[in-house]
C-alpha cells in the first residue's frame, strides 16, 4: 500500500516539502489521509496542535488539484469566528502553495469583499454555521453556482457542536445547502458531499460519526491513533478567598504567558481586578467583553511575554494564541473534556510539559478538581449525547425554510427536515401538530397548501432583515457599555443594568472599573468613564449546573478511600482528611447513606444532577406533602412526616409497583418542571414539546431506572 504522501499529486508533495519543510507526515495524517483519499466520511481524533487540520485539508486539496471545482470545493466550518480568523492565514498558505485560494466569510467581513468572492469564488470557504445560514437565506448568493461542485465539508471542534442546538442547526443547514446545490442536477449526478470532523477530546466518536453522516451514503471511519504518553504537571491548591487566589496566581504568572480559566464571567472580572498592578499585564476575555476588546487581548497577549488572560470557555477551543507557559484554573470545570481542552493549550514546545494549576476556594471544588484529574488519568472522557427530538431547532428550521423559499409546503419541508438525525425521533403526526399550533398562534401562515412566516413570528424575528433568526442560541436583553468617545467595552444584562444609578454606581467589565455617567434605556446603552473601583456584575445563570454520574461517583470514591494525591497541596490534603473523617466515614459505613435530622432527611447519592433531579420529581409526585430538594450529590426531603424509613418505602414503590414511567405520571412530573428557557424558539412550541426540551436537560429516565434498581443497597 502506498503511503498517503505518495498518493498526493506531485504539486502538493513539492509544496509540503519545499514550502513547509516537512520530511514526513504524522501518524494521524497518514491514517486520516488514506481514509479521506478513499472517499470515506471521517472523524479525526488528535490532541490540540496534533496536526488534525493538515490531516484533513491536505488529502482534500489533493482532490481539488486533480479536478479543480467550479465554485467552492471545500467548506471549512468552525464553531466560532475567532477560530476562523485564527485559521485564516494557515488555510491561505496551504491553498496558495498549490495555486488555489481560500476566503473567510462571517459577519465582520466587509460587504465589498463578499461581493468580490461571489463574483469569483475561492475554492476553499471558511465560515460558521450561522454565517452559512445567512448565505442560504440570501437571494444575493447564487447557491447552485457557488456550491454546485462542493466536494467536502470539514467540521472543526465537532465535539463542541454535536449534541447541541448549534450542531443540529449546522447539520440542517448543510443538508439544505447540499439540496439547493443539487437541485438542477439529475438524480444520478447529485453529489454525496464528503464529511470530515475534527476533535481533540470525545468519548463516543462512533456515535458522533453516525450523527455527522446525515443523508450521506459514503463509507465511514474513525481515525484515533494511539496517543503517545505525555508528561503532565498538575497542582491543586486550596485558598479560602479570591484575594489569596489572585495573589498566588499573580506570582505564578509573572514573567510568563498564562491563561486563567474561570467558571463564570463575574469571577473572571473579580480575579482580574485583584491581579492588576501585581507585575503582570492582565486581560479579560469572555462573551460579554466586546469583540474589539477580545481581539486586543489576543493580539497583546501574542506579542507579550509577561501576560495573563482571564477567560471563560471562550479560549477553550483550539485558537492559537502563541506559546503558552501556564494554564491556571479557578475552582474546577464541570467536565473532563473541558479540562483536557484547557490542559492541551500548554506543552506544545519541545521539552515543555502540559500543565494546569487549580486554585480552589473550598473543599468541594478541590474534590471536583481531583475527580476530573483522576478520570482523565484513567482515559475516561464524557460521551457527547446526540438527540433525535430537537424541537427548538425543528421549528427554527421550518421558519428558515419559509424564508428561503418564500413559501413551502409542509410535506416538502418535512421531506428535507426528516433527513436530519436530530429530528428522526419525531413522528410526522407530531410534526403536523407543531404546524397546526404554529398556524393557530400566527407563527405560520398557510395559503394554498403553502406555509409562510406568520405575522407573530415576523414581529419577533423580523427586525434587521431577520438577523434574530440566523442564530439558534438564545441571548438575554443586553445593554451596550460605551465610553464618551463611543468605544464599546462590552455588554451587561438588563437585570444588572436596571440596578445601576448614574454618577453613583460602578462595576467591573473587561478587567477595568467603570463609573456610570448615563443610562439610555430606549437605546439600551450605558455611558461610562474609568473609576478607581467597582463591583463585579452578575450574569444570570438560568439553569443548574449538571455534573455527570461518573464524575460524582469518582468524588464518592475519593471520599471513601485513603488514597493520597501527590499533586494536591497541604491545605487541600488537610481539608480532604477532614471531609473523609466527616462525610467519608458515613458513606463508608452505610451503603444507603441517609441522615435523619427530625424534620429533614438528607440522602447522599452521588448520582449526578440528572438522576437526582429525576428522583426529586418522582418523590414529589409520589408524596406531594414532601418538599424535595436536589443537587448533584444529594437529595433532601423536608416535611412533618419524613424519615429514612419512609424514604426507603417510597423508593421501594418506585422500584416495584409504581408505574412512574406511565404517560400520566410523566405528564404530572413535566408539569412541575421549572420553566427554564433554553432557546428563544421554545415559546413557539406547543406546551408538551416545550416541556420536553426542559426535560431533556434536567431529567434522565433510563439512567434513573438503572440507578434505582441496581445501585441502591439497603443494610
Domain ranges of the chain: 4-223, 232-377, 391-470, 478-530, 590-710
Say what the pLDDT of residue 196 is: 98
Residue 1: band (very low, low, confident or very high) from pLDDT cuts 50, 70, 90: low
Distance of CA 261 to the CA centre of its chain: 15
* Contact status, residue 241 vs residue 445, Cβ threshold 8 Å: no
Instruction: Tell me the percentage of the chain whose pLDDT exceeds 90.
Output: 65
Second-level CATH architecture of 232-377: 3-Layer(aba) Sandwich (3.40)
The residues, ordered by sequence, that sit 6+ positions from 506 with a Cβ below 8 Å of its Cβ are: 513, 514, 515, 516, 531, 533, 534, 535
Q: Do domains 4-223 and 391-470 have the same CATH topology?
A: no
Q: With contact defined as beta carbons under 8 Å apart, do 451 and 435 qualify?
A: yes
Check if the beta carbon of residue 610 is closer than 8 Å to that of residue 703.
yes
* Contact indicator for 220, 41 with CB cutoff of 8 Å: yes
Look at residue 293 and give its three-state secondary structure.
helix
Q: What pLDDT, on a 0 to 100 scale, did the predictor assign at position 713?
A: 66
- Asked whether 398 and 417 are in contact (CB, 8 A), the reply is yes
The fold of the 4-223 domain, in CATH, is Rossmann fold (3.40.50)
Residue recorded with cell 449534541: 163
The enclosing H or E element of 526 equals strand 525-530
Helix, strand, or coil here: 70?
coil
Closest listed residue to residue 181, CA positions, set 106, 21, 71, 259: 71
Assess whether pLDDT exceeds 80 at residue 350: no
Please say if the pLDDT value at position 476 is more than 90.
no
As a whole number, the mean pLDDT across the chain is 90
Most confident of 149-153, 316-320, 534-538: 149-153
DSSP-derived letter for residue 227 is P
Helix axes 10-18, 52-66, angle to 10 degrees: 140
Which CATH number applies to 391-470: 3.40.33.10, 2.60.120.200, 3.40.50.460, 1.10.10.10? 1.10.10.10
Q: 116: which 3 cell numbers? A: 468580490
**Closest by Cα among 102, 23, 118, 103 to 61:** 102
pLDDT, position 539: 67
Measured CA distances, 592 to 284, 306, 437 (Å) = 46, 52, 47
Q: In the predicted model, what is the mean pLDDT of residues 595-615?
A: 94
Of the candidates 690, 657, 651, the one whose C-alpha atom is nearest the C-alpha of residue 674 is 690
Of 68, 345, 41, nearest in space to 171 by CA: 41
290 phi/psi in degrees, rounded to 5: -60, 155
pLDDT at residue 655, as a whole number: 87
- Bridge partners of residue 578, in order along the sequence: none
CA gap 642, 599 in Å, rounded: 6
Question: Above 80 in pLDDT, residue 154?
Answer: yes
- Kindly list the distances between the CA atom of residue 555 and the CA atoms of 342, 388, 551, 584, in Å, as whole numbers in the listed order: 21, 32, 6, 10
Most confident stretch, 74-78, 483-487, 537-541: 74-78
Mean pLDDT (whole number) for 35-39 = 97
Rounded to whole angstroms, what are the CA distances from 601 to 541, 612, 629, 653, 654?
28, 15, 10, 18, 18
The whole-number average pLDDT for the span 629-658 is 91
Sheet with 102-105: strands ordered across: 102-105, 124-127, 74-77, 152-155, 194-199, 41-45, 220-223
Q: If you average pLDDT over residues 513-518, what whole number do you get?
A: 90
CB of 197 within 8 A of CB of 312? no
pLDDT at residue 298, as a whole number: 81
Amino acid at each position: 500500500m502506498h503511503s498517503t504522501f505518495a498518493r498526493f499529486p506531485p504539486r502538493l508533495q513539492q509544496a509540503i516539502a519545499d514550502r513547509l519543510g516537512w520530511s514526513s507526515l504524522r501518524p494521524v495524517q497518514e491514517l486520516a489521509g488514506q481514509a479521506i483519499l478513499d472517499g470515506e466520511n471521517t472523524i479525526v481524533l488528535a490532541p490540540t496542535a496534533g496536526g488534525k487540520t493538515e490531516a484533513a485539508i491536505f488529502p482534500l486539496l489533493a482532490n481539488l488539484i486533480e479536478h479543480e471545482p467550479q465554485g467552492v470545493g471545500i467548506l471549512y466550518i468552525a464553531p466560532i469566528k475567532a477560530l476562523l480568523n485564527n485559521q485564516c492565514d494557515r488555510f491561505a498558505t496551504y491553498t496558495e502553495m498549490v495555486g488555489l485560494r481560500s476566503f473567510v466569510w462571517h459577519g465582520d467581513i466587509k460587504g465589498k469583499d463578499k461581493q468580490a468572492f461571489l463574483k469569483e469564488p475561492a475554492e476553499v470557504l471558511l465560515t460558521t454555521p450561522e454565517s452559512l445560514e445567512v448565505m442560504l437565506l440570501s437571494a444575493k448568493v447564487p447557491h447552485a453556482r457557488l456550491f454546485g461542485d462542493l466536494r467536502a465539508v470539514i467540521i472543526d471542534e465537532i465535539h463542541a457542536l454535536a449534541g447541541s442546538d448549534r450542531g443540529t442547526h449546522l447539520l440542517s443547514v448543510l443538508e439544505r445547502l447540499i439540496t439547493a446545490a443539487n437541485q438542477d442536477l439529475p438524480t444520478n449526478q447529485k453529489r454525496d458531499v464528503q464529511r470530515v470532523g475534527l476533535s481533540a477530546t470525545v468519548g463516543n466518536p462512533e456515535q458522533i460519526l453516525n450523527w455527522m453522516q446525515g443523508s450521506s451514503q459514503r463509507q465511514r471511519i474513525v481515525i484515533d491513533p494511539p496517543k503517545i504518553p505525555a508528561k503532565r504537571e498538575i497542582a491543586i491548591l486550596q485558598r479560602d478567598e479570591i484575594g489569596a487566589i489572585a495573589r498566588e496566581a499573580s506570582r505564578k504568572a509573572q514573567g510568563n504567558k498564562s491563561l486563567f480559566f474561570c467558571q463564570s464571567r463575574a469571577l473572571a472580572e473579580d480575579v482580574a481586578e485583584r491581579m492588576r498592578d501585581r507585575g503582570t499585564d492582565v486581560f479579560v476575555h469572555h462573551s460579554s467583553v466586546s469583540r474589539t476588546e477580545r481581539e486586543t487581548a489576543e493580539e497583546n497577549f501574542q506579542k507579550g511575554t509577561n501576560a495573563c488572560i482571564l477567560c471563560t470557555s471562550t479560549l477553550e477551543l483550539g485558537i492559537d494564541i502563541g506559546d503558552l507557559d501556564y494554564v491556571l484554573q479557578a475552582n474546577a470545570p464541570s467536565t473532563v473534556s473541558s479540562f483536557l481542552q484547557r490542559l492541551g493549550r500548554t506543552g506544545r514546545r519541545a521539552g515543555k510539559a502540559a500543565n494546569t494549576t487549580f486554585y480552589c476556594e473550598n473543599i468541594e471544588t478541590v474534590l471536583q478538581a481531583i475527580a476530573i484529574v483522576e478520570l482523565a488519568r484513567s482515559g475516561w472522557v464524557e460521551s457527547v449525547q446526540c438527540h433525535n427530538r430537537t424541537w427548538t431547532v425543528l421549528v427554527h428550521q421550518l421558519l428558515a425554510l419559509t424564508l428561503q423559499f418564500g413559501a413551502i409546503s409542509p410535506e416538502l419541508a418535512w421531506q428535507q427536515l426528516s433527513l436530519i438525525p436530530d429530528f428522526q425521533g419525531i413522528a410526522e403526526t407530531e410534526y403536523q401538530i407543531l404546524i397546526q399550533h404554529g398556524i393557530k398562534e400566527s407563527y405560520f401562515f398557510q395559503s394554498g397548501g403553502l406555509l409562510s412566516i406568520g405575522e407573530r413570528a415576523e414581529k419577533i424575528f423580523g427586525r434587521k432583515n431577520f438577523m434574530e433568526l440566523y442564530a439558534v442560541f438564545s441571548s438575554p436583553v443586553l445593554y451596550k457599555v460605551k465610553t464618551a468617545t463611543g468605544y464599546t467595552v462590552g455588554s451587561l444584562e438588563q437585570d444588572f443594568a436596571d440596578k445601576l444609578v448614574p454618577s453613583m454606581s460602578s462595576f467591573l467589565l473587561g478587567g477595568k472599573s467603570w463609573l456610570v455617567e448615563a443610562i439610555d434605556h430606549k437605546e439600551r446603552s450605558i455611558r461610562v468613564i474609568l473609576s478607581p473601583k467597582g463591583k463585579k456584575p452578575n450574569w444570570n445563570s438560568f439553569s443548574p449546573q449538571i455534573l455527570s454520574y461518573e464524575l460524582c461517583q469518582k468524588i464518592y470514591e475519593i471520599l471513601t478511600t485513603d488514597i493520597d494525591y501527590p499533586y494536591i497541596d497541604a491545605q487541600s490534603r488537610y481539608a480532604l482528611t477532614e471531609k473523609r473523617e466527616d462525610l467519608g466515614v458515613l458513606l463508608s459505613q452505610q451503603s444507603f447513606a441517609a441522615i435523619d435530622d427530625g424534620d429533614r432527611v438528607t440522602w447522599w447519592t452521588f448520582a449526578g444532577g440528572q438522576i437526582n433531579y429525576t428522583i426529586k420529581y418522582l418523590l414529589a409526585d409520589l408524596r406531594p406533602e414532601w418538599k424535595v430538594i436536589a443537587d448533584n450529590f444529594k437529595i433532601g426531603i423536608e416535611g412533618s412526616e419524613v424519615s429514612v424509613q419512609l424514604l426507603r418505602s417510597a423508593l421501594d414503590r418506585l422500584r416495584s409497583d409504581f408505574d412512574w414511567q406511565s404517560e400520566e405520571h410523566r405528564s404530572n412530573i413535566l408539569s412541575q418542571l421549572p420553566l427554564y428557557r433554553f432557546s428563544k424558539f421554545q415559546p413557539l412550541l406547543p406546551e408538551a414539546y416545550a416541556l420536553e426540551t426542559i426535560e431533556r436537560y434536567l431529567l434522565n429516565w433510563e439512567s434513573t431506572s438503572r440507578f434505582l434498581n441496581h445501585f441502591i443497597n439497603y443494610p
